[in-house]
Structure 1
Amino acid sequence: MCGIVGYIGTQRAVDILVGGLEKLEYRGYDSAGIATIYDEQLTAVRAKGKLHNLRTKLENNVNYAQIGIGHTRWATHGKPEEYNAHPHGDNQGRFAVVQNGIVENYQELRQELKQKGHNFVSDTDTEVIPHLLAEYYNPDGDDPFMDAVMKAVHRLEGAFAIALLCADYPEELIVARQNAPLIIGFGQGEFFCASDVTALVNHTNAVLALENGEIGRLTPLGVELYDFGGKRLRRTPRVLDWSPVTVEKQGFRHFMLKEIHEQPSVVRTCLEVYFNPDWQRKSTKPVNLNLSSELTDDLENIQIVACGTSWHASLVGKYLLEQIAEIPTFVQYASEYRYSPSPIMANTMTIGVTQSGETADTLAALGMERQRRSRLDKPYRPRIVGISNRPESTLGGMVDQLINTYAGIEIGVAATKTFVAQVMAFYVLALDLAWQRKTISPERIDQILAGLLQLPTQIEKILQTEEGKIEDLAHNFPETRDFVFLGRGINFPIALEGALKLKEISYIHAEGYPAGEMKHGPIALLDAHVPVVAIAMGGSVYEKVISNAQEAKARDARLIGIVPQSYDDEVFHDILNVPEVEELLSPILAVIPLQLLSYYIASLRGLDVDQPRNLAKSVTVE
């Protein structure tokens, strides 16, 4: 969602702030702004729309400040207008604040502050924060700026990450966090803050993620950490293995296309980290997941909570966990689970799946589940697992064990390589549990491992042989208004994911259905203007999907088939081939043509593929 950047050091702050905000554009935003302190003056510049509008305004302002905060806003409270853009200030021009999240009690605070003479100029919840600071600020106190922040954060309810400046303290930048991500970066004589490490990797790879209820004070001399009660804290930064190159397009037109092409490398990395191809010869486990016995002993059920693309990956995971490890598995939308949780089942592992590790609904669902089980499990046994691309995230700090997907930074809002990485994580988990539970033979494990090891080369073959064909095919659909995607078994979630990708970046209405359910209602949608994409991979449901596709063809729908290379029938009008692979492994390959088709249709429509309208990479508010 919204993006935060802050800087204090020896460089020109404006350059650092705007450059950092550019790295956060992928999160989604509708306005932007910065605030700096120079020559004892606090100055804010804001603009509606894209960052180039802010840059245009800044070109007319010579600003040598070495401290500042910046923000890209994704509207929640108040329209996307300049007067609602961050930073927000108080009536005296003493404080400037940027915030991610939502202050849930802002209306109550706003009324209270109005009665005390404060004048509000925006419709946002954020504006109450600088007014609270002004209300609590005592210039004659021992530590006026920090004292005001300490008092203000105790009045805020909801989720927030904030960065604050005070004109009276031109060498202090204060940050605070409660249920929204905020990271401090450590440089040489300079310090940074950001809502995502992508804004920092050009400057430092030493970072510290604030935890809930923590405040940081950044000065030219260093960083001080406190809890909301004022107690001094001591923690050590961690070093990231990311480099500036990972957040560049490297010759690709869009980040999304670059990330589609990175998928062979992502799968290879997962295989190298987790799998032992010669495990039997060395008498070791087939998988290096190292799940603790606390998580796996007497395990009877698995429940998964996720949102969006992560939910689709979890549906594939359900299939794998049930078919390979023979564990009943339930997948729920995290946003729904929070308000209608399933009855507590004995000996259950709960898995939260989120690429960013910051998805608000998923984190809240996991927190609620931990509380429920701590009250009712006697004795309580922690069984909370996370699957994420960001071990340094909030998720990484709250689960009992994290499965890192090793996908690297993903900039495109529409998830591609992180989806494949999450599916790979479920293969890892399913095989590990299957080996522990002895639900499949060692020979079958070897067979699956051998197939997985072929996937990177097979993805590369799809990219080499089918991408040009898919680009040509996309020219047929720029004016199309509706699509239907069909799949069965383990590839039904891939139909859902294909439809979601098309919706997200091309704004074409698309729906995914189980192929066998089409004649129970959705077939009424079909005519010559509604293309149908059918995933007909080899395996137990192949003939069934072909039969369902013929039903669509009989209604004049244009048929696109995702089929193995051995396919030689004439059911489909257009064929996109993938290498021969057993059904259990087919989702990783079947999704690649769907990603490319969505990309090229959106690109031909002239749309902003990496930053689709109304969407954010990391949904950190409910």
Structure 2
Amino acid sequence: AVQKGGYAHFMLKEIHEQAQVAREVLNMLNGSPDVAAVIEKMKNARNLYFIGCGTSYHACLAGAVYFAQLAGRAVIPVLAPQFAPQYAPTVGAQDVGLFVSQSGETKDVLNALQVAEEKGMTCYGLANVIGSTLTKATVCALPLCCGYEISVPATKTFTNQVVTFLYLAYRLAGRDTAELETIPALMTQTLETVAAPVEALAQKINAWSDLYSLGYGATYAIALEGALKLKEITYAHCEGMLSTEFKHGPLSAVTKGLPIIFSVAPGDVPLIVSGLNEVTCRGAYAVAIGQDDPRLRANASDVIILPDSTPQIAALLAVLPLQLLSYHMSLLRGFDPDFPRNLSKTLTVD
């Protein structure tokens, strides 16, 4: 039986396993004979689609930004149920799709896969469960190498999906993937340094039932994932948004003390500072998650400091404090973060 290993909950254990499983998936990718074939197909594709649901879709969004930033390759990230009505009429044998599912059994993803295969698209999979329907139905499937993930809210499977996309973007760009070997140590460092300030932040904002999680560029996907974690296990309404969209309507919701969390990549600080000022001057409690920067300290109500890294790795690291924040707020509200109400680990229905 899978044990909690001294942790109070599986979720906390799985958060702390992320460095190790990231190391394992990087080792797997370095030795996989399938990666070169996937990259070659992607290079020659007319259009490239990343397809998933929920957390897996957020990884697809991050992957699309990585592919553009690092390899100059446009990718269309798609919520799986929207693939059939919006994209299926346009796809064919010249296109490539990467279908992403933790379980490999997500019905919405399998439905999109069936439509894509009927149209002649080359279809690859990314899943944690080897032998699942997705891994059997695709040309080849890359494993996430996470082991068992018991807690319903995904943590280590999300970060390994993002690490895989980052690795593939490096390969497509012809960059040295050895640069990614710093990720596990940076994850460990992040979890150690943010633990106390995140727990304190949870105490400060836990009384609120509405909050916002904002990001930009690669951190947009991270903001969405953080918002989903908070919704899943605290039952608060947390809306994830592109930070620059906040002024187009939602700004009217700001009241004194409203928590607004900004996930910040190092190159985006000036733009995020503008967003911080827009909300703090109206009374919001603005939290910046990013590398240490005097501009963030001067303009945010609170700053959660991440270790220095590349812009792409910085985005990945930003999800760790959001995972911990949702965990601690769930406990403060008396909920079980491993098994939130109304949810199951694998969705096998339409």
Change (3 A) 1:297 1:503: closer
Structure 1 position 323 matched with structure 2 position 323: no
For the pair 1:361 / 2:141, whether they are aligned, the reply is: no
One of 383, 395, 408 as aligned partner of 2:147: 408
The 1:605–1:292 alpha-carbon spacing in structure 2 relative to 1, beyond 3 Å, is closer
Letter in 1 for 2:78: Q
Could you tell me which residue of structure 2 aligns to residue 528 of structure 1? 256
**Aligned-pair CA distance for 1:305:** 1.6
Q: Distance in 2 between matches of 1:508 and 1:559?
A: 17
Following the alignment from structure 1 to structure 2, what is the Cα–Cα distance between the partners of residues 253 and 599?
11
Q: How much has 1:499 moved relative to structure 2?
A: 0.6
What is the RMSD computed on CA atoms of the aligned residues?
1.9
Q: Is the 8 A contact 2:263 2:290 kept in 1?
A: yes
Residues 485, 511 of structure 1: 8 Å contact kept: yes
For residues 159-170 of structure 1, what are the structure 2 equivalents within 5 Å? none
What is the aligned counterpart of 1:472 among 200, 205, 213?
200
Letter in 2 for 1:523: L
Q: Mark the CA change 1:527 to 1:258 in structure 2 (over 3 Å): closer, same or farther.
A: same
Residue in structure 1 matched with residue 133 of structure 2 by the alignment:
394
3-state SS in 1 of match to 2:35:
coil
How much does 1:248 deviate?
1.2
Could you give the per-residue CA deviations for residues 128-164 of structure 1, whole angstroms, max 9, x where no partner exists? xxxxxxxxxxxxxxxxxxxxxxxxxxxxxxxxxxxxx
Counterpart check, 1:418 vs 2:157: yes
Moved more, 587-596 or 337-346: 337-346
1:23-62 superposed Cα distances (whole Å, 9 cap, x missing partner): xxxxxxxxxxxxxxxxxxxxxxxxxxxxxxxxxxxxxxxx
Structure 1 or 2: larger helix share?
A: 2
More strand by share: 1
Question: Aligned AA for 1:256?
Answer: M
Aligned partner of 1:370: which letter? Answer: E
Match of 1:89 in 2: none
Residue number among 577, 581, 588 corresponding to 2:316 in the alignment: 588
Q: Cα deviation per residue 1:90-117 (whole Å; 9 max; x = unaligned)? A: xxxxxxxxxxxxxxxxxxxxxxxxxxxx
What SS class does the counterpart of residue 240 from structure 2 fall into?
strand
Shift of 1:535: 1.3
SS at match of 1:612: coil
Report the secondary structure of 2:44's partner residue: coil
Instruction: Answer yes or no: is 1:370 the counterpart of 2:125.
Output: no
SS of residue in 1 equivalent to 2:37: coil
Which of 428, 449, 466 is residue 178 of structure 2 equivalent to? 449
Secondary structure of 1:533's match? Answer: strand
Deviations 1:359-392 (CA, angstroms, capped at 9, x unpaired): 001011001110122xxxxxxxx61000111121
Matches within 5 A, 1:85-100: none
Pairing partner for 1:266 from 11, 21, 25? 21
Please say if residues 420 and 588 of structure 1, whose CA atoms lie closer than 8 Å, have aligned partners that are also in contact. Answer: yes
Name which of 49, 54, 72 aligns with 1:308. Answer: 54
* Equivalenced residues, count: 348
CA distance in 2, matches of 1:524, 1:297: 44
- CA shift, 1:567, in A, is 3.9
- Where in structure 2 are the equivalents of 1:128-139 lying within 5 Å? none
- Residue 35 of structure 2: aligned partner: 289
Candidates 414, 428, 448, aligned match of 2:167: 428
1:608/1:292 CA distance change after superposition, 3 Å: closer
Where does 1:22-33 land on structure 2 (aligned, <5 Å)? none
SS in 2 for 1:449: helix
Aligned counterpart, 2:98: 351
Instruction: Find the counterpart in structure 2 of residue 544 from structure 1.
Output: 271
Residue matched to 2:236: 508
- Say if 2:258 and 2:284, in contact at 8 Å, map to a contact too: yes
Residue 150 of structure 1 is matched in structure 2 by: none
Deviation at 1:292, TM superposition (A): 5.5
Retained in 2: the 8 A contact 1:534–1:559? Answer: yes
The aligned residue for residue 253 of structure 1 is 8
Equivalent residues of 1:273, 1:288 under 8 A apart: no
Percent of residue pairs identical: 36
1:252-278 deviations in Å (ceiling 9; x for gaps): 1111100000001011112222238xx
Write the distance in 2 (CA, Å) between the matches of 1:560 and 1:334: 32
Deviation at 1:334, TM superposition (A): 0.8
Cα displacement string for residues 377-415 of structure 1 (whole angstroms, at most 9, x for unaligned residues): xxxxx6100011112111010000101111111011111
* Bigger Rg, structure 1 or 2: 1
Partner-residue secondary structure (3-state), 2:214: strand
* Change over 3 Å in CA distance of 1:449–1:293 after alignment to 2: closer
Give, in angstroms, the shift of residue 297 of structure 1: 6.3
Q: Name the SS of the counterpart of 1:486 in structure 2.
A: strand
Q: For residues 294 and 321 of structure 1, what CA distance do their matches in structure 2 show?
A: 14
Matches of 2:130 and 2:68, distance apart in 1: 27
Amino acid at match of 1:603: L
Distance in 2, Cα, partners of 1:310 & 1:318: 12
**Contact 1:291 1:401 (8 Å CA) reproduced:** no
- Give 1:1-400 correspondences, 5 Å limit: 244=1, 247-275=2-30, 289-291=35-37, 295-296=41-42, 298-342=44-88, 343-344=90-91, 347-373=94-120, 383-400=122-139
The amino acid across from 2:191 in the alignment is L
Partner deviation per Cα, 1:284-309 (whole Å, 9 max, x = no partner): x9x97232688346323211221000
Q: Does 1:495 align with 2:223?
A: yes
- Provide closer, same or farther for how the CA distance between residues 345 and 542 of structure 1 changes in structure 2, counting only shifts above 3 A: farther
SS at 1:290's partner residue?
helix
1: CA distance, partners of 2:39 / 2:320: 36
Relative contact order (alpha carbons < 8 A, sep ≥ 6): 1 or 2 greater? 2
Q: 8 Å contact 2:264–2:315 — kept in the other structure?
A: no
- Tell me, what secondary structure is at the counterpart of 1:275? helix
Q: Which residue does 1:198 correspond to in 2?
A: none
Q: Distance in 1 between matches of 2:43 and 2:293?
A: 43
Q: Which amino acid aligns with 1:562?
A: I
